[in-house]
Amino acid sequence: MRIINIVLTDLASSKLKAEEKLQRLLNNKDSDLDDVLVEIKNQLREISLLETMITKWNDYTINQKDNK
């Protein structure tokens, strides 16, 4: 059961880090606009992927609990 929580915690931590990086990119006024846009899109992609992974992990673990 601990591994389920470890995986979920790791995914949530990665999502928070990606959101923090996105916030820093939004506040960055020194870099080239095109470069910042590319990085923002990359961070949004990463956040979306992590959110999907968290949802899927929760679905799997809920189904696992129901099957026991």
Structural domain boundaries in the chain: 2-67
pTM: 0.86
Per-residue pLDDT of the chain (68 residues), as tens digits, is 799 999 999 999 999 999 999 999 999 889 999 999 999 999 999 999 999 999 999 999 987 767 76
User: Which residues 6+ apart lie within 8 Å of 53 measured at CB?
Assistant: 11
Cβ atoms of 18 and 46 within 8 Å: the answer is yes
Q: Give the tokens for residue 31.
A: 């870099």
Within 13 A of 41's CA, how many CA atoms are on the CB side? Answer: 6
CA distance 18 to 52: 14
